[in-house]
Amino acid sequence: MDMENNIIYMKDIVKSYKLGKNKLTVLKEVSLEVTAGEFVAVLGPSGSGKSTLMNIIGCIDVADSGEYILGGQNIKARNDDELAHVRNREIGFIFQRFNLLPKYTAIHNVAFPLLLRGINKEKAYERATLLLEKVGLGGRMKHKPLELSGGEQQRVSIARALSGEPRLLLADEPTGALDSKTGREIIDMFSELSREGNTIVMITHDLGVAKEAKRIVRVKDGKIVEE
Protein backbone atom coordinates (compact mmCIF):
# COMPACT_ATOMS: atom_id res chain seq x y z
CA MET A 1 0.00 0.00 0.00
CA ASP A 2 1.47 3.33 -1.08
CA MET A 3 0.48 5.51 1.88
CA GLU A 4 2.65 8.37 0.62
CA ASN A 5 0.42 8.88 -2.40
CA ASN A 6 -2.89 7.56 -1.08
CA ILE A 7 -5.55 10.09 -0.18
CA ILE A 8 -8.15 7.38 0.46
CA TYR A 9 -7.36 3.88 1.70
CA MET A 10 -10.39 1.74 2.56
CA LYS A 11 -10.19 -1.92 3.47
CA ASP A 12 -13.16 -4.24 4.13
CA ILE A 13 -15.60 -1.45 5.04
CA VAL A 14 -18.92 -2.78 6.38
CA LYS A 15 -21.94 -0.59 7.16
CA SER A 16 -25.35 -1.76 8.36
CA TYR A 17 -28.52 -0.02 9.51
CA LYS A 18 -31.28 -1.30 11.76
CA LEU A 19 -34.74 -1.40 10.22
CA GLY A 20 -37.07 -2.33 13.06
CA LYS A 21 -35.90 -5.79 14.11
CA ASN A 22 -34.01 -6.38 10.88
CA LYS A 23 -30.49 -5.39 9.95
CA LEU A 24 -29.79 -4.08 6.45
CA THR A 25 -26.16 -4.35 5.37
CA VAL A 26 -25.57 -1.54 2.88
CA LEU A 27 -21.81 -1.91 2.35
CA LYS A 28 -20.26 -5.37 2.27
CA GLU A 29 -16.48 -5.42 2.76
CA VAL A 30 -15.78 -2.55 0.40
CA SER A 31 -12.14 -1.76 -0.39
CA LEU A 32 -11.06 1.33 -2.30
CA GLU A 33 -7.86 3.26 -2.87
CA VAL A 34 -7.63 6.73 -4.42
CA THR A 35 -4.22 8.29 -5.00
CA ALA A 36 -3.35 11.99 -4.99
CA GLY A 37 -4.47 13.78 -8.14
CA GLU A 38 -6.91 11.09 -9.29
CA PHE A 39 -10.38 11.91 -10.66
CA VAL A 40 -12.60 8.96 -9.74
CA ALA A 41 -16.31 8.51 -10.45
CA VAL A 42 -18.30 6.26 -8.12
CA LEU A 43 -21.14 5.01 -10.30
CA GLY A 44 -24.24 3.16 -9.16
CA PRO A 45 -28.03 3.20 -9.24
CA SER A 46 -30.19 4.37 -6.35
CA GLY A 47 -30.01 1.90 -3.47
CA SER A 48 -26.63 0.48 -4.53
CA GLY A 49 -24.81 1.81 -1.46
CA LYS A 50 -23.00 4.67 -3.21
CA SER A 51 -24.52 7.37 -0.98
CA THR A 52 -23.51 5.47 2.16
CA LEU A 53 -20.02 5.07 0.73
CA MET A 54 -19.92 8.83 0.06
CA ASN A 55 -20.96 9.58 3.65
CA ILE A 56 -18.17 7.38 4.97
CA ILE A 57 -15.57 8.88 2.60
CA GLY A 58 -16.78 12.34 3.70
CA CYS A 59 -16.60 11.46 7.43
CA ILE A 60 -20.32 12.22 7.75
CA ASP A 61 -20.86 8.63 8.85
CA VAL A 62 -18.53 5.99 10.29
CA ALA A 63 -18.17 2.36 9.21
CA ASP A 64 -19.14 -0.51 11.55
CA SER A 65 -15.91 -2.31 10.73
CA GLY A 66 -12.97 -2.14 8.37
CA GLU A 67 -10.17 0.36 7.97
CA TYR A 68 -10.38 3.91 6.58
CA ILE A 69 -7.29 6.09 6.28
CA LEU A 70 -7.85 9.59 4.83
CA GLY A 71 -4.68 11.49 4.02
CA GLY A 72 -2.72 9.44 6.55
CA GLN A 73 -5.30 9.83 9.33
CA ASN A 74 -7.08 6.84 10.82
CA ILE A 75 -10.75 7.85 10.68
CA LYS A 76 -12.01 4.94 12.79
CA ALA A 77 -10.18 6.32 15.82
CA ARG A 78 -11.78 9.80 15.61
CA ASN A 79 -14.57 11.13 17.82
CA ASP A 80 -17.38 13.39 16.51
CA ASP A 81 -15.47 16.65 17.14
CA GLU A 82 -12.38 15.30 15.42
CA LEU A 83 -14.48 14.10 12.46
CA ALA A 84 -15.97 17.60 12.13
CA HIS A 85 -12.43 18.99 12.11
CA VAL A 86 -11.40 16.51 9.39
CA ARG A 87 -14.46 17.45 7.29
CA ASN A 88 -13.66 21.14 7.63
CA ARG A 89 -9.93 20.84 6.90
CA GLU A 90 -9.48 17.90 4.56
CA ILE A 91 -12.60 17.72 2.38
CA GLY A 92 -14.28 20.18 0.02
CA PHE A 93 -17.92 19.17 -0.49
CA ILE A 94 -19.91 19.89 -3.66
CA PHE A 95 -23.60 18.99 -3.41
CA GLN A 96 -26.34 18.39 -5.96
CA ARG A 97 -28.48 21.19 -4.49
CA PHE A 98 -25.53 23.57 -3.94
CA ASN A 99 -26.24 24.10 -0.18
CA LEU A 100 -25.37 27.80 -0.30
CA LEU A 101 -26.39 30.24 2.45
CA PRO A 102 -29.36 32.01 0.80
CA LYS A 103 -29.06 35.33 2.66
CA TYR A 104 -25.39 35.84 1.83
CA THR A 105 -23.59 36.99 -1.31
CA ALA A 106 -21.46 34.64 -3.40
CA ILE A 107 -18.25 36.08 -1.96
CA HIS A 108 -19.44 35.58 1.62
CA ASN A 109 -20.51 32.00 0.85
CA VAL A 110 -17.00 31.23 -0.40
CA ALA A 111 -15.26 33.07 2.45
CA PHE A 112 -17.50 31.53 5.14
CA PRO A 113 -15.53 28.27 5.74
CA LEU A 114 -12.34 30.34 6.12
CA LEU A 115 -13.99 32.72 8.60
CA LEU A 116 -15.11 29.65 10.60
CA ARG A 117 -11.45 28.65 10.82
CA GLY A 118 -10.56 32.00 12.30
CA ILE A 119 -8.86 33.41 9.21
CA ASN A 120 -9.21 37.20 9.20
CA LYS A 121 -11.91 38.75 7.05
CA GLU A 122 -9.56 40.54 4.67
CA LYS A 123 -7.59 37.37 3.84
CA ALA A 124 -10.75 35.26 3.57
CA TYR A 125 -12.37 37.72 1.14
CA GLU A 126 -9.15 38.00 -0.86
CA ARG A 127 -9.05 34.22 -1.35
CA ALA A 128 -12.78 34.11 -2.11
CA THR A 129 -12.32 36.80 -4.78
CA LEU A 130 -9.53 34.83 -6.47
CA LEU A 131 -11.58 31.62 -6.45
CA LEU A 132 -14.73 33.26 -7.84
CA GLU A 133 -12.62 34.75 -10.63
CA LYS A 134 -11.16 31.28 -11.24
CA VAL A 135 -14.63 29.77 -11.73
CA GLY A 136 -15.68 32.62 -14.04
CA LEU A 137 -17.84 34.58 -11.59
CA GLY A 138 -15.70 37.69 -11.10
CA GLY A 139 -18.67 39.87 -12.04
CA ARG A 140 -21.22 38.09 -9.82
CA MET A 141 -19.56 38.24 -6.38
CA LYS A 142 -22.17 40.49 -4.76
CA HIS A 143 -25.11 38.41 -5.98
CA LYS A 144 -27.06 36.18 -3.60
CA PRO A 145 -27.80 32.57 -4.61
CA LEU A 146 -31.35 33.28 -5.80
CA GLU A 147 -29.97 35.94 -8.17
CA LEU A 148 -27.74 33.32 -9.82
CA SER A 149 -28.55 30.52 -12.28
CA GLY A 150 -28.16 26.89 -11.20
CA GLY A 151 -24.84 26.62 -13.03
CA GLU A 152 -23.56 29.79 -11.36
CA GLN A 153 -24.64 28.53 -7.95
CA GLN A 154 -22.74 25.29 -8.56
CA ARG A 155 -19.66 27.33 -9.53
CA VAL A 156 -19.94 29.22 -6.23
CA SER A 157 -20.13 25.91 -4.40
CA ILE A 158 -17.00 24.68 -6.24
CA ALA A 159 -15.18 27.88 -5.25
CA ARG A 160 -16.33 27.34 -1.65
CA ALA A 161 -15.13 23.72 -1.72
CA LEU A 162 -11.70 24.91 -2.90
CA SER A 163 -11.43 27.73 -0.35
CA GLY A 164 -9.70 25.73 2.38
CA GLU A 165 -7.30 23.98 -0.04
CA PRO A 166 -8.69 20.56 0.88
CA ARG A 167 -6.91 17.29 0.27
CA LEU A 168 -10.04 15.86 -1.37
CA LEU A 169 -12.95 17.28 -3.39
CA LEU A 170 -16.06 15.15 -2.84
CA ALA A 171 -18.89 15.83 -5.30
CA ASP A 172 -22.35 14.30 -4.85
CA GLU A 173 -24.29 14.22 -8.16
CA PRO A 174 -22.83 17.67 -9.02
CA THR A 175 -24.76 17.93 -12.31
CA GLY A 176 -28.01 16.38 -11.00
CA ALA A 177 -29.91 19.69 -10.73
CA LEU A 178 -28.55 21.18 -13.98
CA ASP A 179 -29.52 20.99 -17.65
CA SER A 180 -27.16 18.98 -19.88
CA LYS A 181 -25.28 21.99 -21.34
CA THR A 182 -24.63 23.53 -17.90
CA GLY A 183 -23.79 20.10 -16.48
CA ARG A 184 -21.21 19.68 -19.23
CA GLU A 185 -19.58 23.01 -18.25
CA ILE A 186 -19.37 21.88 -14.61
CA ILE A 187 -17.81 18.53 -15.58
CA ASP A 188 -15.29 20.37 -17.78
CA MET A 189 -14.41 22.43 -14.71
CA PHE A 190 -13.79 19.21 -12.73
CA SER A 191 -11.52 17.95 -15.52
CA GLU A 192 -9.57 21.23 -15.34
CA LEU A 193 -9.30 20.99 -11.53
CA SER A 194 -8.07 17.42 -11.96
CA ARG A 195 -5.38 18.56 -14.42
CA GLU A 196 -4.27 21.09 -11.80
CA GLY A 197 -3.63 18.21 -9.39
CA ASN A 198 -6.80 18.17 -7.28
CA THR A 199 -8.03 14.80 -6.04
CA ILE A 200 -11.71 14.38 -6.91
CA VAL A 201 -14.24 11.69 -6.02
CA MET A 202 -17.56 12.20 -7.78
CA ILE A 203 -20.69 10.21 -6.93
CA THR A 204 -23.10 9.78 -9.84
CA HIS A 205 -25.77 7.49 -11.31
CA ASP A 206 -25.09 8.87 -14.82
CA LEU A 207 -22.66 6.88 -16.98
CA GLY A 208 -22.23 9.84 -19.35
CA VAL A 209 -21.00 11.99 -16.46
CA ALA A 210 -18.90 9.18 -14.97
CA LYS A 211 -17.06 8.67 -18.27
CA GLU A 212 -15.47 12.12 -17.88
CA ALA A 213 -13.50 10.87 -14.86
CA LYS A 214 -10.13 9.17 -15.24
CA ARG A 215 -11.42 6.05 -13.51
CA ILE A 216 -14.84 4.57 -12.83
CA VAL A 217 -15.68 2.51 -9.75
CA ARG A 218 -19.08 0.80 -9.88
CA VAL A 219 -21.06 0.11 -6.71
CA LYS A 220 -23.55 -2.72 -6.99
CA ASP A 221 -25.49 -4.33 -4.13
CA GLY A 222 -23.11 -2.87 -1.55
CA LYS A 223 -19.93 -4.11 -3.26
CA ILE A 224 -17.37 -2.41 -5.50
CA VAL A 225 -16.78 -3.60 -9.03
CA GLU A 226 -13.78 -1.83 -10.59
CA GLU A 227 -13.95 -0.81 -14.27
- Output the average pLDDT for the chain: 92
Choose among 203, 95, 102, 202: nearest CA to 148: 102
Strand 39-43 and strand 200-204: pairing? parallel
Chain length of the chain? 227
Cα distances from 173 to residues 27, 50, 112, 183, in angstroms, run 19, 11, 23, 10
Q: Is 98 left (phi over 0), alpha (psi -120 to 50) or beta?
A: left
Share above pLDDT 90 across residues of the chain, in percent, rounded to a whole number: 74
pLDDT value of position 34: 95
- Going by pLDDT thresholds of 50, 70 and 90, the confidence category of residue 5 is confident
Average pLDDT over residues 206-213: 91
pLDDT value of position 2: 54
Phi, psi angles (nearest 5°) of residue 85:
-65, -40
pLDDT value of position 47: 83
pTM comes to 0.92
pLDDT tens for 74-90 read 998 888 899 988 888 89
pLDDT value of position 169: 96
Average pLDDT over residues 19-46: 92
Whether the per-residue pLDDT at 1 is higher than 60: the answer is no
Q: DSSP labels for the chain?
A: --TTTEEEEEEEEEEEEEETTEEEEEEEEEEEEEETT-EEEEE--TTSSHHHHHHHHTTSS--SEEEEEETTEEGGG--HHHHHHHHHHHEEEE-TT----TTS-HHHHHHHHHHHTT--HHHHHHHHHHHHHHTT-GGGTT--GGGS-HHHHHHHHHHHHHHT--SEEEEESTTTTS-HHHHHHHHHHHHHHHHTT--EEEEES-HHHHTTSSEEEEEETTEEEE-
pLDDT tens for 83-127 read 988 888 899 999 888 899 999 999 999 999 999 889 999 999 999
Choose among 83, 53, 79, 47: nearest CA to 66: 53
pLDDT value of position 227: 60
**In this structure, CATH architecture of domain 6-226:** 3-Layer(aba) Sandwich (3.40)
Share above pLDDT 70 across residues of the chain, in percent, rounded to a whole number: 98
More confident residue, 166 or 45: 166
